[in-house]
Structure 1
């Protein structure tokens, strides 16, 4: 297990936002948000008029500021109704997964945490069973089995379901007379046209080496298109650990080709995810390999920009596009929480239809519960592509725990000239075999 330095952990935890019922602005009476240091949190027990407060720590993997703000709004509302509770929201960003690994090893989990796709497989033994909660009967048909194990244990509330494809600047595609690509070859042709006809003003794709999950996303998406989605596929071979990893070569070869042809930002290794919204809003980026949850940030800069959403193009002749899906944002409760019942109440509060709708509207994703009405500009795309197949994320089904980091880091090393496509494939084979033996 990768060890996290104290400096990184302290940096991540410094993003904590503590929300307290008694911290109000005198001019409005609204709850203010106050950043506090972990040491101060640990050393101080807030008190209400009726005694000590119950402090509930909530960790989320989201890096999107508008989504974080929805968490804050709902938590603020909850503590107004429950002044004996303090909610500590923490958003560690790109270090989320590493911090969770450290906490699992120390058996020191937050009261509530985001399972980010691993509710059953990775976090199952750390989570309380929520099957008796009032919102469970409303779990959607597409997500219920994802967060429920064979014994019937329900591991988490799914705030938003993932239905991931490519988000694109619809105005740019219209300007350059480009149809929405259905195949990888069509996607590359669109990239060439955008680059050449804009004389380099438009960068077809944006990736970040700092937030290298964006690079990992390419390999996770297109691994499904190459190896799983086609009728003749490698699904069983992967499950049986009999995959010929030379077949992986095509993915790093194509990714490196995109880089060499100038189809992605030149500063990819030092670029940050946080810069994407501004560049996209200015019409300098055409495609992103992620869902449209950053749309609100784009529209703050350019309210009139038309943003589109599409499935992941196919890579094999005769195949069709697909979506990658599963859990996106979730709330699971630690079985060892000292305030488990209060944690369950907070999760149930987030599960209220109005609150679920807030997440659907800000993430631009389908809610994990039935009976939630969402109204946002991407509803038309979900309706348009309702019949498109949705596959579970490639790494969550076909790779052992720990391989996501390999996807991301190897992709960055490939662009940095440290490894070749063949060495990337060799690394995949080596790490899959090593991790399966654990």
Structure 2
């Protein structure tokens, strides 16, 4: 999602310059001059990632005095994809590195460039959804770092309580709740939209994908293969466009939806001037900053499907820590210890103290602290019932660049839902052809 606080902000730095990096970043050789085994760890250069990496290294070195870890960083951004590929293909990658899970990880050709970690003890603690986004048919390559977060409907619990509303499990129930808020809410906006930040317009489509997968578990695979049935002009995927159009047509949005920003919408939700907001749970950080006393007034529920049996919450999986295949010997054993430590009780404590928690962990090795935002517990209930699914970007490399512009037009009543879905299918086709995917 462009400009959003999604996993893309955690990408690494710049293209061919990898070839000019000092060889100190490489994984060959043995120990350091003091007899310790030295490995290197690569993460992104923004402050949150760098600070967490420093904390992880400090805790690990304290527990493993015979191993030293050299931290290296590189910029985030789209350029990082090329840098990662270059370093891995030239055997100049750091021993351990932090990167995206899902389709971006798959683009790094993990079977040839990463160490298979399938037999490590911590793997048994992972959720099935996370295993799927760090695996190929030949192995599992990544350990989670950080929590998941949801794309769903954030809602004000006090507004719901005042109007006697229950969390909807079908789309019709969601619309009925919204119409009651419009009629009896005393001016509270039933559904917030914030097209002043265009990326936020995508949630009705992207946040619905777990429901699409419930109806057709093979949809992502068929979509990537250009199956004519797996298109946005066809159900079940069309629902996301239809829903965006419907809430506008029924007058259920805030009056300033065209100009409102994400930060303004989160504050309106917290203060109760808006009741519901299709959004990422990660944006709760805005409320933690601006209205900390109101954080627990916000809950979350899955974007409802037509049938309650198909309603599931769409999850953005955490990034992962990987080991480069060029890492060998004592360095490999040390690297495996480092990855395992990240998913140990001590590593989880580092994550709890330094991370932004907007959803459950995807490993049972980590326990959430008691002071997490209340909406995290709401998401956990979907985990406990098995009603979750990964966002499409983790299952397919195809995401058209113009989705946010299309969903703004559909959600503003400018473009009919059918036309918008057709436009996006065309947008997707162009992107798939650029990627050189078979069948397009």
The TM-score, its normalising length taken from structure 2, stands at 0.68
| Cα offset, 1:401, TM superposition | 1.7
**Which residue of the partner structure matches residue 251 of structure 1?**
240
DSSP 3-state at the match of 1:356: helix
Q: 1:333 to 1:236 in 2, by over 3 A?
A: closer
Where in structure 2 are there 5+ consecutive unaligned residues?
A: 3-8, 26-31
Structure 1 residue 395 displacement after superposition: 4.7
SS of the equivalent of 2:318 reads strand
CA shift digits 1:279-326 (9 cap, x unpaired):
44333443343454444653452335333232331125x644212247
Q: Assess if the C-alpha contact under 8 Å between 2:300 and 2:378 holds in 1.
A: no
Matched, 1:242 2:228: yes
Q: Deviation at 1:85?
A: 4.0
SS in structure 2 of the partner of residue 289 of structure 1:
strand
Correspondence for 2:167: 180
For 1:198-255, what per-residue CA distance to the aligned partner results, in whole angstroms no more than 9, with x for missing partners? 454446234456471x433321222443x44348997786466122653255532431
**What is aligned with 1:312?**
303
Measured in 2, the distance between the counterparts of 1:293 and 1:209 equals 18
Match of 1:25 in 2: none
Which range moves more in the overlay, 418-427 or 83-92?
83-92
Query: Within 2, Cα distance between the matches of 1:275 and 1:116?
Result: 30
The match for 1:101 is 81
Does 1:330 find its partner at 2:320? yes
The equivalent residue for 2:348 is: 356
Following the alignment from structure 2 to structure 1, what is the Cα–Cα distance between the partners of residues 218 and 126?
31
1:221 aligned to 2:213? no
Cα distance in structure 2, aligned partners of 1:49 and 1:408 = 53
Equivalent residue number for residue 389 of structure 2: 391
Pairs within 5 Å for 1:36-435: 56-59=41-44, 73-75=55-57, 77-78=59-60, 85-88=69-72, 92=76, 95=77, 98-104=78-84, 106-107=86-87, 112-118=97-103, 121-125=106-110, 126-131=113-118, 133=120, 135-151=122-138, 153-159=139-145, 160-161=147-148, 165-202=152-189, 204-207=191-194, 210=197, 212=199, 214-225=200-211, 227-230=212-215, 238=223, 241-243=227-229, 245-247=232-234, 249-259=238-248, 261=251, 263=253, 266=256, 268=258, 271-272=261-262, 274=263, 277-290=266-279, 292-295=281-284, 298-299=287-288, 301-303=291-293, 305-316=296-307, 319-325=309-315, 327-335=317-325, 344-356=336-348, 359=351, 362-376=356-370, 377=374, 378-379=376-377, 382-383=380-381, 386-397=384-395, 400-403=396-399, 405-415=401-411, 420-434=416-430, 435=432
Shift of 1:174: 1.1
Post-superposition offset of 1:58: 0.7
Q: Which moved more, 1:236-245 or 1:305-314?
A: 236-245
Cα distance change of structure 1 residues 285 and 406 upon mapping to structure 2, 3 Å threshold: same
Q: CA-to-partner distance for each residue in 1:61-112, whole Å, 9 max, x for gaps?
A: xx9x9898655643554567779544356684xx4xx233343564577752
Note the alpha carbon deviations across 1:336-384, whole angstroms, 9 max, x for none: 6898776655433322224325647952433233343334444466347
For residues 275 and 334 of structure 1, what CA distance do their matches in structure 2 show?
Answer: 42
Q: CA deviation at 1:257?
A: 3.9
Q: CA RMSD in A?
A: 4.8
Q: Which runs of 5+ in 1 are unaligned?
A: 5-11, 17-37
User: How many residues are treated as equivalent by the alignment?
Assistant: 391
